[in-house]
Amino acid sequence: MRRLLLIIAISPIVFLSLSCESVDFKDHRPTHDVELFEQLAQEVADTLAVPNAKTFRQDMRTLDIATQDLLRSQSLQALNTMRLAWKQAYFTWQAISLLHFGPAEQLMLSELIGKYPINPEGILPAANGRYKVAEEVGLMAVEYMIFAKDNDETLQLIRSSAAFRMALIDKVKAMEDIGVKYDQLWNDYKGQFTSNTGVEAGEAVPMLVSSAIKTIDLMNGKRLALPLGINNGDQVNFELIQGAYSGESLRALRLQWVFWKGLWDGSISVGEEQLHFKGLEALLEGKQELEELHEQVQLVDAVFDQVQLKDMEQAIRLYPNQMRALQRALADMEVLTRSLPKVIGVEISAVEAKN
């Protein structure tokens, strides 16, 4: 299968307390276009969810192979190969983490793959074999192990520390196992997902809308506003940047934004081919909110384009005003997105942002 390749601009999120207005249909359940809901769920599954699950599985397998080769050869070339494999898995994670329900919820992907910030004291066990704090796992833990120190220090750890080697291979292998399960679960779950064509919470389209709200909140909040210190007296904290050690933090944020837009407008790039499917904005056809959505998307794109960097720390240091403008634009997008369930006519439960 062709791997999902997105051409992305290089560029870039505070926990906001989230609440989402529920739409109560107990007394006056609206009629809705069941055929449209079914088509939307089917095409999102076929074009986004299932292919990305397979790509994620492949990426995790590639990362595992690269890790084994690094531990065997203990060379700089192998370290660089593993770093490239990690980056590819991290970029694919930007698409996987867009969907917060079904297999992702069942496998607790947000905790076992995407958890951050991490505590370095939970990376390696102490001399007694126990961790000082809860063991850190997932992509960000592996990122710390292979990017936080320079080449010589990292290779020295690999060559001299059996605990480091064991922790590294165990964390990567656990992610590979999850990748296999996630791929299998989406193939099993697809039929159930596409057959749930109602407007109630837990049905396919309401879950997609809910995921869109949760993702834009995380982008605006935890991934951007938190390191910017927006709710903390503008005290910047670079340690709260996701993907900080690899230098790909802003590039990854931009990539997730591209996936988020694709969920709405139904357009993604696969290699050199542009694929189209029924996106969520089809639910807004003929409504004023569709124009507002397009205008806000253009605004976010414009601010992203002002910061042509891949590293968020560098971007904050060099372009602090633009980065704060990006956070405000994403916050406005979140406000707009939260208003859409009622406009669309779907019921969603309260959304809590967790990573």
Strand (E) or helix (H) holding 275: strand 273-276
Give how many domains the chain has, as a whole number: 1
Q: Does residue 340 belong to any structural domain of this protein?
A: yes
Q: Does residue 296 belong to any structural domain of this protein?
A: yes
Over residues 16-44, mean pLDDT: 68
The amino acid sitting at 285 is: E
Q: Does residue 223 belong to any structural domain of this protein?
A: yes
Q: Does residue 349 belong to any structural domain of this protein?
A: no
The answer on pLDDT for 296 being more than 80 is yes
The answer on pLDDT for 268 being more than 90 is no
Residue 195: domain span: 34-344
The answer on pLDDT for 4 being more than 60 is no
Separation CA 11–CA 272 (nearest Å)? 21
Pick from 211, 213, 205, 201: which is nearest to 293 by CA?
Answer: 213
The pTM score is 0.88
Q: Does residue 11 belong to any structural domain of this protein?
A: no
Strand, coil or helix: what is 148? coil
pLDDT at 133: 86
pLDDT at 17: 38
Q: Does residue 13 belong to any structural domain of this protein?
A: no
pLDDT at 355: 38
CATH of the domain at 240: 1.20.1420.20
Pick from 149, 155, 157: which is nearest to 75 by CA?
Answer: 155
Return mean pLDDT, the chain. 89
pLDDT per residue as tens digits for the range 133-182: 889 999 999 999 999 999 999 999 999 999 999 999 999 999 999 999 99
Over residues 230-234, mean pLDDT: 86
Sequence-distant contacts of 136-140: CB under 8 A, at least 24 apart:
137/112, 137/171, 137/174, 137/175, 138/111, 138/112, 138/113, 138/114, 138/171, 138/175, 139/86, 139/89, 139/90, 139/93, 139/113, 139/114, 139/175, 140/114, 140/115, 140/116, 140/242, 140/243
pLDDT per residue as tens digits for the range 167-221: 999 999 999 999 999 999 999 999 999 999 999 999 999 999 999 999 999 999 9
Separation CA 295–CA 131 (nearest Å)? 49
Over residues 331-354, mean pLDDT: 84
The answer on pLDDT for 78 being more than 60 is yes
Q: Does residue 350 belong to any structural domain of this protein?
A: no
Separation CA 17–CA 221 (nearest Å)? 9
The amino acid sitting at 192 is: Q
Q: Does residue 266 belong to any structural domain of this protein?
A: yes
The amino acid sitting at 48 is: L
